[in-house]
Structure 1
Amino acid sequence: MPQQVRAVVARSKGDPVTTETITIPDPGPGEVIVKVQACGVCHTDLSYREGGINDEYPFLLGHEAAGIVETIGEGVTHVEVGDFVVLNWRAVCGDCRACKKGKPWYCFDTHNASQKMTLEDGTELTPALGIGAFAEKTLVHEGQCTKVAPDADPAVVGLLGCGIMAGIGAAVNTGNVQRGDSVAVIGCGGVGNAAVVGAKLAGASTIVAVDRDPGKLDWALKLGATHAVNGSEEDAVEAIRRLTDGFGADVVIDAVGRPETYKQAFAARDLAGTVVLVGVPTPDMTLEMPLIDFFSHGGSLKSAWYGDCLPERDFPMLVDLYQQGRLPLEEFVTERVGLDDVEVAFQTMRDGKVLRSVVVL
């Protein structure tokens, strides 16, 4: 029978979130209920609250989560009751043109639960990225559950569900960083510093972190950056070129997603370097550049959507590396908070005081 649980809801644009009782239906075919153990506070959740994604209020927020499969619906074979899983928003279909081309990380028809979770009065909720995990329990498609090592810390590995995977993947998958490459990362919040970690994991020899916040640069140096550039004190493009023998970086990752930072990334790459956009621009942003600048450079310009990841391939591998001490995922957990603290965590994130606040249930 349907269950009632506590969850964090955004009812209208810009208003503070509230902790409310919601109703979760029994799982239908292909669906599962996951008992959430931890969920990271991601900027995407704040974007939902602010109306930056769409206007399908009320939203059930939260998506960087890990937990235990509690109940499964008819025909579910991907997971079993009791499995420890990290939730993902890329449950690939296997049938679209991208999947059939062997590029499922570009899947155009990813799966979500068919049924809706609701408020107590029956109002349907829109779950953030098809997950909605600032909740004691949530309903998802079985393909959104990726089994990982059951003894891993949920507060740590749950972060792979979005931002940390986006950053690591921007370097490893999208940017295809190779051993000995030079890499520059512009913007060193959670995603940018994850890109620093990804570049180090891939074997980059020079990793230049760029930000205007000294605290974020300190995090970057701790996580593997070889150089830190304070963009408020010196020209970032000139600094990156100086630190790469005057050539520019092999891979430049824009983890901010603004026209100004994208232009910096473009100008700071080597003649045949790669620019990776992983920061998310708002719909109103535009870019104006001379077309000759594009013609005069080789290389490539790429966008990293979820770090071009495949959860079934990438999550277990990264959790294994974390447990071996080769991937410092725990360094991204700045604080652990309760379900009623999400609004405060949003402000802490805005103030740049954390890499990640994590709601622990």
Structure 2
Amino acid sequence: MPYEVQGVVARAKGEPVRVERVHVPDPGPGEAVVNIQACGVCHTDLHYREGGITDDFPFLLGHEAAGTVEAVGPDVTTVQPGDYVILNWRAVCGNCRACLRGRPWYCFATHNAKQKMTLEDGTELTPALGIGAFIEKTLVAAGQCTKVDPAARPAVAGLLGCGVMAGIGAAINTGGVTRGDSVAVIGCGGVGDAAILGSSLAGAAKIIAVDVDDRKLEWAKRFGATHTINSTKTDPVEAIRELTGGFGADVVIEAVGRPETYKQAFYARDLAGTVVLVGVPTPEMTIELPLLDVFGRGGALKSSWYGDCLPSRDFPMLIDLYLQGRLDLEGFVTETIRLDQVEEAFAKMHRGEVLRSVVEL
């Protein structure tokens, strides 16, 4: 039978979010209903509230989530009720040109649940990133559910659903960081710190953290930063070059998403080095670079969408590393909160006071 549950809804641009009653239908073909146990408060949710992604209000916010499968629809064979899962927003199709070429992390036909969750008056909700997980139960495509070891606590596991996976993947999957590399990460929020953690996991010899906030630079050290640069006090490009023998870093990861920090990343890399853009820009932003510099410096300029991850491959592996004590996911959880504290968590995030607030249900 359908479910009536509590969820966090953004009704209009810039308005405070509020907890409302939400109608969740029974799962249809290819769908699953998941009991949400925890969901991280990501900056993307704030972008939705501010109308920075689409204007398809009202939104059901939340997407960095873990929980257990409540029910599945017809023909679902990949998960069953009781499975402990992390939700992802890129359920791969298996049939598009990327999937058929053996590159499913680039899938061009990812999908979500076909049915809509609604408010009590029947108004259809747009779930953030096709998930909508600031809620007691949510409806998703079964392919958005990735089974992992249930020994991992939900407040930690769910963070792999977006920001932490984006950062780790930007370093390992997109940037190809490997043993002995020098890496610079510009922007030390949740995604940037995850990129630092991923670089450390991959065996980077030197990991340089860059930010404008000394508190964030201290956080970066916990995740493996060997050097820190406050870019309000020091030219970050010159400082990165000085720390790398005058050459620049092998891989520079831009986790801010602004033209000025992207230019810093471009000029802070070594010749034939790699720049990875994982910070999310806004639609009006543009960048201008001398084409001769693009040509003459060689290397690669890459963007990393969701860390180029394949959830079925990456989530279980990272959870196993966490359970072995080799991956500090606990360090990202600054606080746990209730559903009715999401608006307050947005304010803390905006002020740079937290890496992640996590809603526990």
* Number of matched pairs: 361
Distance in 1 (CA, whole Å) between partners of 2:181 and 2:345 is 36
Give the aligned residue type for 2:171: A
After TM superposition, list the pairs within 5 Å mapping 1:134-213 onto structure 2.
134-213=134-213
C-alpha separation in 1, matches of 2:168 and 2:252: 13
Report deviation, 1:288: 1.1
SS in 1 for 2:82: coil
For residues 24 and 98 of structure 1, the distance between their equivalents in structure 2, rounded to whole angstroms, comes to 32
SS in 1 for 2:245: coil
CA drift at 1:183? 0.1
- Per the TM alignment, residue 7 of structure 1 is displaced from its structure 2 partner at its CA by 0.1
Q: Deviations over 1:62-112 (max 9, x none)?
A: 000000001111111010100000000111001111111111111111121
Once the 2 structures are TM-superposed, how far is the Cα of residue 292 of structure 1 from its aligned partner? 0.9
Q: Counterparts of 2:215 and 2:108 in 1: how far apart (Å)?
A: 38
Alignment-derived partner of residue 240 in structure 1: 240
Other structure's SS at 1:296 match: helix
Q: 1:307 corresponds to which residue? A: 307
- Alignment partners' CA distance in 1, 2:127 and 2:98: 25
Cα distance in 2 for residues equivalent to 1:71 and 1:77: 12
Structure 1: distance between partners of 2:257 and 2:3: 40
Q: Which residue of 2 aligns with 1:281?
A: 281
- 2: CA distance, partners of 1:10 / 1:209: 34
Q: Deviations over 1:1-51 (max 9, x none)?
A: 211000000000010001000000010011110000000000000000000
**Partner amino acid for 1:36?**
I
Distance 1:57 1:97 in 2: 32
Secondary structure at the residue paired with 2:271? strand
Letter in 1 for 2:215: G
CA distance in 1, matches of 2:76, 2:104: 21
- Post-superposition CA distance 1:117-162 (Å, at most 9, x none): 0000000000000000000000001000000001110000100000
Secondary structure (helix, strand or coil) at the match of 2:99 reads helix
Are 2:352 and 1:352 equivalent residues in the alignment? Answer: yes
Secondary structure, counterpart of 2:297 in structure 1: coil
Q: What code does the residue aligned with 2:167 have?
A: G
Question: How far is the alpha carbon of 1:289 from its aligned partner?
Answer: 1.4
Aligned to 2:38: 38
Q: Equivalents in 2 of 1:294, 1:314: separation in Å?
A: 32
Distance 1:264 1:151 in 2: 41
Unaligned stretches of 5+ residues in structure 2: none
- Give the TM-score of the pair, scaled to structure 1: 1.00
**Deviation for aligned residue 1:223:** 1.1
Q: How does 1:262-341 map to 2 (within 5 A)?
A: 262-341=262-341
Partner-residue secondary structure (3-state), 2:53: coil
DSSP-derived class of the 1:358 partner: strand
What is the CA–CA distance in structure 2 between the aligned matches of 1:56 and 1:273, rounded to whole Å? Answer: 40
Q: Which amino acid aligns with 2:21?
A: T
Q: Which residue of 1 aligns with 2:16?
A: 16
Q: CA RMSD in A?
A: 0.5
Partners of 1:119 and 1:136 lie apart in 2 by 14
Deviations 1:251-275 (A, max 9, x none): 0000001000000000000001000
Aligned counterparts, 1:93-172, within 5 A: 93-172=93-172
CA–CA distance in 1 between the matches of 2:149 and 2:37?
15
In the alignment, what sits opposite 2:3? 3
Distance 2:12 2:100 in 1: 39
Structure 2 SS opposite 1:23: strand
The runs of at least 4 consecutive aligned structure 1 residues that moved more than 2 Å come to none
Hey, what's the Cα distance between the residues in 2 that align with 1:103 and 1:14?
38
2:266 maps to a residue whose letter is F
Instruction: Give the distance between the partners of 1:156 and 1:350, measured in 2 at CA.
Output: 21
- Residues 207-216 or 98-107, more deviating: 98-107
- Determine the C-alpha separation between the residues in 1 that align with 2:28 and 2:289: 50
Q: 1:298, CA displacement in angstroms?
A: 1.1
Distance 2:296 2:108 in 1: 33
Distance 1:336 1:228 in 2: 28
Q: Distance in 2 between matches of 1:97 and 1:192?
A: 31
2:24 maps to a residue whose letter is I
Work out the percentage of aligned pairs sharing the same amino acid.
73
Q: Distance in 2 between matches of 1:140 and 1:257?
A: 29
What are the superposed Cα offsets for residues 162-182 of structure 1, whole Å, 9 maximum, x if unpaired?
000000000000000010000
SS of 2:37's partner is strand
